[in-house]
Amino acid sequence: MKSKREIAQKLLNPSGVVLDGPNPWDPKLHDERVIDRLLAEGPIAVGESYMDGWWDVEDMAGFTARVMDSDSSSAVYSMQVLPLIWAVIKARVVNLQSKKRAFQVGEEHYDIGNDLYERMLDKRLTYSCGYWSSPTGVAKNLDEAQEAKLDLICRKIGLKKGDRVLDIGCGWGSFAIYAAEKYGAKVVGVTVSKEQAALARERAKGLPVEIRLQDYRAISDGPYDHVVSVGMFEHVGYKNYRTFFELARKLLKEDGLFLLHTIGAKETFKFIDPWLDKYIFPNGYVPSAPQITTAADKLFILEDWHNFGADYETTLLAWDKNFERHWPELKDKYSERFYRMWKFYLLSCAGSFRARNTLLWQIVLSPKGVKGGYVTVR
C-alpha cells in the first residue's frame, strides 16, 4: 500500500514539483501533517497550512504556475468534491454580492489599513494591473506601469477636457485624480471602502473629483460622457452582471464609451477559490468571456477587447517586492500569520497569471457603435 506521501507526490507528478526536492519551486515540508491535511481538506489546506508555517517554497509563483499548468491542479480540487459542490450550490441559491453584502469586501479587504497599501502600491495607489509593455515602450518600474495603464484608459475612451466621467469602484482615486490632472476631466468615483473614500478625498482636494461611499446600484445621476470600472467587476457576481451593464448603459450618454477593466477566467466557474474567498476577497467572483458578452447583449456594441494578463504577474511581483521591503515598518501592526497569508495571496496569484489560468481584460463598449468605427488604442 502506498504511503500518504507517495499519494501526494503522485498528485504533483504532472507538474514536475517534488516534495522536498532541489528546485526553487519544490516545497519544503516542515510538518508531515500537511499531507494529511491536504488529502483531508483539499485546496484550501494548501494556503492555510502555509499560513501556519507547515511548509515553505523559495519560488511560490513558480510552484503555483507549475501546479496550475498541469493536471495536478484538477487532482487537488477533485480530492474534496463535497465542499466545492456546496460552494456552487451556495452561489446559485444566495446572491453573494447583494446590496446587503456589498460593503463586506470593503470592510474585510480594502479597510484593513491604508498604511499597508501605501507601502505596497505605486505612488498613485493603483490596485489593479499595470501596463508594462506598450507600443510606446516598456515601463521601468511600477509607477511608470500604472501611469501607462491610466493613460491607456483615458486614450481608449477619447477623454477630453470638461468630460464628465463615472468611475465605478474608484479605489483610492488613482484614475479619477489622473483623469482630472492630466486631461481636465470631471470625475465622480464610488467605492464601498470607508478607508479608500477618506484617503481618496484627501488626495483629490482642489480637483474636480467627487468621491462617494456608495454601492454601484445606488448611482442615479447620469448621464455621463464616459463610464469606467477598473478592478471592481470581480466583486459584482454573475447574478448581478445584467444589472451592472444595464446601470452602465442608463448612466452613459448615447455617444459615450464604457471601459471595463477586469480580471477574467479562461472558463466559466460558479465559485471562487475557497482560500481567496475566506481570507482575501469575500464573495469575489472572476467572470468568463461568455458571461460578460451575455450580460452586455443588446445593451452595448463591443468595440475592443484587449488582453494583457501577462502584465499582472509583473505587477503582483512588484507589489510583493514593495511589501517585503516595507515589512519592518508594518510588522508591529500586522501578525506573522498575516505576513504569510499576504505573501501567499500575492505570489500564488502571480503564478496563476503566469500559467495563463487567469487573464486581464480591458473591454471598450459603446451604446450604438462608434460612427465610422472605433480606432483601437494600444
Residue by residue, what is the 3-state secondary structure of 208-227? CEEEEECCHHHCCCCCEEEE
Give the closest residue to 129 by CA, choosing from 316, 364, 378, 281.
Answer: 316
Cβ-contact 306, 362 below 8 angstroms: yes
Q: CB burial class (10 A; 0-12, 13-18, 19+) of residue 82?
A: exposed
Q: Buried b / exposed e across 108-118, counting CB within 10 Å, b at 16+?
A: ebbbbebebbe
Quote the distance between the C-alpha of residue 129 and its chain's center. Answer: 8
The three cell numbers of residue 131 are: 501596463
Q: CB burial class (10 A; 0-12, 13-18, 19+) of residue 339?
A: middle
One-character DSSP codes across 252-316: EEEEEEEEEEEEEESS--SS--HHHHHHT-TT--PPBHHHHHHHTTTT-EEEEEEE-THHHHHHH
Question: Does residue 154 carry a catalytic annotation?
Answer: no
3-state secondary structure of 110: helix
In this structure, the number of other CB atoms found within 10 A of the CB of residue 2 comes to 9
Q: Which of 129, 154, 170, 349 is catalytic?
A: 349
Give the closest residue to 358 by CA, choosing from 320, 318, 313.
Answer: 313
Q: Which long-range contacts (CB under 8 A, 24 or more apart) does 95-103 make?
A: 95/237, 95/239, 95/240, 96/237, 96/239, 96/283, 96/285, 97/235, 97/236, 97/237, 97/239, 97/240, 97/283, 97/285, 98/240, 99/215, 99/217, 101/283, 102/192, 102/215, 102/217, 103/192, 103/215
3-state secondary structure of 359: strand
The three cell numbers of residue 244 are: 451592472
Active site residues: 349
